[in-house]
Amino acid sequence: MFKPRFLKKTPLAWLQVKRERTRLMVAIAGIAFADMLIFIQMGFEGALYDAAIQPHRNLQADLVLTNPQMQTLFSVKDFPRQRLYQTLAHEDVASVSGVYIATGQWKNPETRLERAILVWGIDPTEPSFNFPEVNQNLHKIQPLNQLLFDQAGRPEYGFTAAAYGETGQFSAELNGMQVDVTGVFTNGASFAADGNVIASDSTFLRLFPDQNADHIEVGLVQLKPGADVEKVQHELTAALPDDVLIGSPEDFAQIEREYWANGTGIGFIFGLGVGVGFIVGIVIVYQILYSDVSEHLPEYATLKAMGYTDSYLLSVLIQESLLLAVLGYVPSIVLAFGLYQLAFTATMLPIAMTSRRAITVLILTIVMCSVSGAIAMRKLRTADPADIF
C-alpha cells in the first residue's frame, strides 16, 4: 500500500495535534483542568483517611482491645478494664495498659472561644504511642493537670509552637479546668478532631468525672519477643467474652477508615467528584477530536480512498488522544503539587502527592482520552471517498 511521504517522516497523530496550536492549548488546558479535579478529590480523600487513622497506627502495641461497637474516635465506646487484665493469663502476653479517649472543650486563652479537642488518657509510666516526643516526655504529665499538646493541630486553639518554644509555658482551660502544656508532639488534625492532647489517666479522670475508671476505650497488649501475633490473637478471641474485639493496630485503623469511607457520605462525595472530573475530561477531549475530524473530513476521506482502513484511522485518533493525555497530564501534576501544599498549610491535613495516586490519575487520563477518541470515530466513519469526487 502506498504511504505518503509525510506519513513516513512524521506520525500522522502528531501532525494532527500540532496543526492547530490554539486548539492544542485549549485541549491541554481542558485535560489539565479535569485532572486537577481528580487530583483534588483524591487528595482530600486520602488526607481524610490518613489523618483519621494516624493515631491508631502509632499505638505502641502488638494487639489492641476495643469495644466491638466502636466505629470512630469521634464517638468512642468503652469496655471493662477487667478484659484487659484477663489477657495477662496468656503465657505470651508481656504487659498491658489502658487508654481513655474522649472529646473535651478547649478554651482559647486569647479569644475565649471553645473548640472540641480529642483527649487521650494514658498510663504515664508505660509507653502507649510510637511518638518519640511523647515517650521522652511521659514524666512531664505525671503531675495532675499537665498535658502534651499536638502542635500540628488547628491554630484556633491559640497554641503556637514558636511562642511555646520561647517561654516553655502555655496554660488554657479544658472542660472548665485550668491545664498546663508541658510538652508537644506531632499528630495533626483530622475530620474527626481538629487537635489532640495527651494526659495521664489521673488527669483524664479529673477532666471527665463521669468517666467510669473501670472502663477504658482501648486496651494495649504487648507480647513477649518471638510470640506469634496471629496465634495469640485467635486464642485470646476464643478465651475472652464477645464484649471485646481483639486485633492489631492496623485492624483498629481500618475500622476507623471503614467508618469514614462507608459510614458517612464523605467517601461517596469524593468518589463522585472523581467521576465528575473523569466525565468532564471525556467531554472536553471528545469535542476537540470531533472538531478536528469534522474540519478535516475530506482529508480522512482521501486517506480512505488511498486504501487506509477505518481501523488505521481509529489508531490515529487513539494516538492523538494519548498525546493529548500526556500533554495535559504534565501541567496538572505540577499544579497539584502546589495546591496540595497550599491545602496542607490552610487545613493542616496530611495531604501530599503519592506515586500511587499519580499513576492512578495518569491511567484515568489515558482511559479518558482513549474513550473520547473511540467516540469521535463515529464521525470519522462518515468520511466517504465518493463525497470528494
Report the Cα 6 to chain-centroid distance in Å: 48
* Contact in structure between 228 and 91 (CB atoms under 8 Å): no
**Is the pLDDT assigned to residue 235 strictly greater than 90?**
yes
* Residues in contact with 242: Cβ distance below 8 Å, sequence separation at least 6, in sequence order: 68
Tell which residue, 371, 376, 374, has the closest CA to residue 296.
Answer: 376
Rounded distance between C-alpha atoms, residue 178 and residue 169, angstroms: 13
pLDDT, residue 296, reads 67
User: pLDDT per residue over 19-40, tens digit each?
Assistant: 567 777 877 888 888 888 899 8
Instruction: Read off the pLDDT of each residue in 301-312 and give the average, rounded to a whole number.
Output: 71
Tell which residue, 378, 359, 373, 386, has the closest CA to residue 35.
Answer: 359
Rounded distance between C-alpha atoms, residue 209 and residue 213, angstroms: 9
Tell which residue, 77, 72, 75, 76, has the closest CA to residue 53.
Answer: 72
Is the pLDDT higher at 49 or at 92? 92
pLDDT, residue 269, reads 84
Instruction: List the Cα angle 311/315/318 in 5-degree steps.
Output: 135
User: pLDDT per residue over 309-336, tens digit each?
Assistant: 767 777 777 777 788 888 889 999 999 9
Residue 234's CB is within 10 A of a number of other CB atoms, namely 12
User: pLDDT per residue over 86-106, tens digit each?
Assistant: 999 999 999 999 999 999 999
* Residues in contact with 94: Cβ distance below 8 Å, sequence separation at least 6, in sequence order: 222, 223, 224
Q: What does the block give as the cell for 389?
A: 469526487
**Is the pLDDT assigned to residue 15 strictly greater than 50?**
no
| Residue 79 bridge partners (DSSP) | 216
pLDDT, residue 29, reads 86
